[in-house]
A = this chain, B = another copy of it.
Amino acid sequence: MPDPIGFIGLGNLGLPIATNVLALGHPLRVYNRTPDKAAPLVARGATLVDAPSAAATRGGIVFSVVSDDAALEAVADDKLAAALGPGGVHVSVSTVLPATSRKLAEHHRRFGATFLAAPIFARPEAAAARTGMFCVSGNAEAKARVRPLLESLAKSVYDFGDDVGAANVVKLAGNFMLTAAIEIMAEAAALAENNGIPRARLLEMFTQTLFACPVFVNYGKRIVDADFDKVGFRLPLALKDMRLALQTANAAPTPMPVLGLLRDRYLAALANGREELDASALALGAAEDAGLEWFKPG
């Protein structure tokens, strides 16, 4: 019988991953702030618990997938670390600061438990289809233990070494790069349209050739279709990631001018009432600066 697993956080990303853990045959103990989100899992045999620490078993494995650093620190408290105890492993999937992972790793260590950073590159559909990509860092023994599990939950697992914050840095760097891809395409598309060339013509060519990779193909289509009210990843969450990346760039001094620009694009989007749109609505900044109307709120 597979090991029991604990799961904390059943949001857009947590729910499909937890569903896959359950499908692998692991007895699953789940916690979510709003318990009704757990209903589909409970219907398939998961146990709903009423505190994060109750999801953990002594020496076992617990996943957490929460929305930000404060939420992670709130669930990863003394009780959770004590419930995991010696040999227990906390697999933290959330996108947070590397500094937060380093602090929580030290905290868990005091209880004999191990905290690993394992952020994932995956939209919810990809997490469900197990085609995401985990980046993992932290204690080598704990990583070796959870690796087979991570491999069965994603397409690939990349190990970034012993510094537990490293995987968080990689995740923030990646989110920066993919957000920057949107800005670049939007600027190029605006230039094209102001010269009479439909953005679909421009972006279809580039995403079939020089830029034929998932990020450009997916976000290029978003920009062409301008379906920014179909929300995969909410705009304020993307702003949060740019802020975390800037904080990380600030801590280990690294000027990143494009990152600063992306943060400002998101601030402008919020200032203009776009908090309910998809993160790709960043593209509207370059379009509107250029006098183009790509999107009308429905």
- Which of B133, B195, B209 has a CB less than 8 Å from the CB of A209? B133
Contact with B along A282-298 (1 / 0, CB 8 A): 00001001110000000
Contacting pair A256 B166 (CB below 8 A): no
Copies, count: 2
Contacting pair A252 B195 (CB below 8 A): yes
Least CB separation from A187: chain B residue? B256
- Which of B160, B206, B212, B291 has a CB less than 8 Å from the CB of A177? B206
In the complex, whether A230 has a CB less than 8 A from a CB of chain B is no
By the criterion of a CB under 8 Å from any partner CB, how many residues of chain A are at the interface?
62
Sample of 21 A–B contacts (CB below 8 Å):
A121-B209, A133-B210, A166-B195, A169-B191, A169-B195, A170-B197, A170-B205, A173-B202, A177-B211, A183-B258, A184-B258, A187-B258, A195-B248, A210-B214, A211-B213, A212-B213, A212-B214, A213-B216, A255-B289, A258-B258, A261-B261
Interface residues of A (CB under 8 A from B): 98, 121, 133, 135, 156, 158, 160-161, 163, 165-166, 169-170, 172-174, 176-178, 180-181, 183-185, 187-192, 194-197, 201-202, 205-206, 209-216, 245, 248-249, 252-259, 261, 286, 289-291
